[in-house]
Amino acid sequence: MANTRAYAATSPTSGMAPYSFDRRALRPDDVAIEIDYCGVCHSDLHTVENDWGGSQYPVVPGHEIIGRVTAVGQDVTRYQPGDLVGVGCMVDSCRTCSACDSGLEQYCIEGSTMTYGSLDRHDGTVTHGGYSENIVVSDRFVVRVPENLDPASAAPLLCAGITTYSPLKHFKVGKGHKVGVLGMGGLGHMGVKLAKAMGAEVTIFTRSESKVAEAKKQGADHVIISTDKAQMKAAADSFDFLLDTIPVAHDLNPYLKCLKYDGTHILVGLLTPVEPALQAGLLVTKRRVVAGSLIGGMPETQEMLDFCAEHNITCDVEMLDIRNINEAYERLKKSDVKYRFVIDMDTLKQ
């Protein structure tokens, strides 16, 4: 599939610009998808600016992809042209290790192949993501999007949705639990909607006074301004779980104090060292746990989409013309988006 139009960054400081490349010809298990919508995740920005190190340039980001199947390889039976499908953060894994066997491909022992910036395990080329016209992905890493979900506002479910759904399910969050969500951005606002749908009492921790009314609209029962020491102190020993979506190094200690004994602080946003250091006493004296969680496996991603369809849950999105992607990144840095930019891929073709 030659000459796929896309947007790419060529260095950490280049900004995003038009780019084109060739998608591979279909392998027997491949699905070709024409992309309609792609969400803009903070991970795209971390990768473009090489915040985590090791970014491969040019990088075509995008891992919240929804589109229609245009062709399938000879062995594909689950999908056919015209189907509405999604692709998230992974496009491959070893498929044979114990993690893959359990449908936890994100924890593949050999490391999963990410949708962009990874080396394809078969031909060694660098993978390119969803800020592009089309994508070719093995059917195991494609999910079916329920037709009753609005596809533009469902696109961010492929990352923001599954990343918050998976730990909530893993830790069996439900009725009777008090859950705090740290940071009200793309992941955070989905964390609120999903934890509420699972029956929990939900509190948003935000730095932004301006988001208080919004948080309530999202379904949050309470809001705590995390920069207000008195409000943080009043929340001591009260939460069963904290879902931490903050994208930068931050002090976990004031949040740990908000957990009950046996409470769990789940990191999803922080992939860099914790600074300042954890006060071990806060863990030891209350048997508190700090945990982490990475996206979700393929069966769970399908389960999450079906759960969202059943509960009528989608993301709050701001549609984006791809030509304005650099401006969108600047706004994302300032947490100035309600709550996810989604690229309308038609704008790539204009």
Write out the residues near ligand NDP by the rule CB under 6 A. Answer: 41-43, 46, 159-160, 163, 183-188, 206-208, 211, 245-248, 250, 268-269, 293-295, 332, 335
User: Which of these, 82, 66, 60, lies nearest to 132 by C-alpha position?
Assistant: 60
Structure token pair of residue 253: 């200690």
Residue 91 as a binder of Zn ion (CB under 5 A): the answer is no
Report, in Å, the least distance between residue 136 CB and Zn ion. Answer: 20
Retrieve residue 317's tokens: 């999105």
Which of 32, 305 has the CB closer to ligand NDP?
305
Q: How many residues bind Zn ion (CB under 5 A)?
A: 3
Q: Select the span of 3-11, 156-164, 268-276, 315-323 touching Zn ion (CB under 5 A).
A: 156-164
In angstroms, the CA 214 to CA 206 distance is: 11
- Site residues (CB under 5 A) for Zn ion, limited to 21-80: 41, 43
Q: How many residues does the chain have?
A: 350
Quick one: 112 or 132, whose CB is closer to ligand NDP?
Answer: 112
Beta carbon of residue 190, minimum distance to Zn ion (angstroms, whole number): 11
> 41 or 137, CB closer to ligand NDP?
41
Phi, psi dihedral angles at 99 (to 5 degrees): -65, -50
Kindly compute the dihedral angle of the four CA atoms of residues 194, 199, 200, 206, in this order, to the nearest 10 degrees. Answer: 40
Taking the complex as a whole, the smallest distance from the CB of residue 301 to ligand NDP amounts, in Å, to 12
Residue 247 partner contact from Zn ion, ligand NDP, none using kind-dependent CB cut-offs of 5 to 8 Å: ligand NDP
Residue 191's binding partner, choosing from ligand NDP, Zn ion, none, with beta-carbon cut-off 5 to 8 A by kind? Answer: none
Q: What's the CA gap between 52 and 228, in Å, rounded?
A: 30
Cβ 55 to ligand NDP, closest distance in Å? 13
Sign for the pseudo-dihedral over CA of 271, 67, 132, 76: positive
Q: Which does 207 bind (CB under 5 to 8 A by kind): Zn ion, ligand NDP, none?
A: ligand NDP
Q: Considering the rule CB under 5 A, would residue 85 count as an interface residue with Zn ion? A: no
Does the footprint of Zn ion cover residue 343 (CB under 5 A)?
A: no
Nearer to ligand NDP, 138 or 335 (CB): 335
Alpha helices, DSSP H, located in the chain: 42-48, 98-101, 151-154, 160-170, 186-197, 212-217, 229-234, 253-256, 280-284, 298-311, 325-333
Angle at 95 between CA 131 and CA 2, to 5 degrees: 35
Q: Check: CB of residue 18 under 8 Å from CB of residue 7.
A: yes
Q: Which residues bind Zn ion (CB under 5 A)?
A: 41, 43, 159
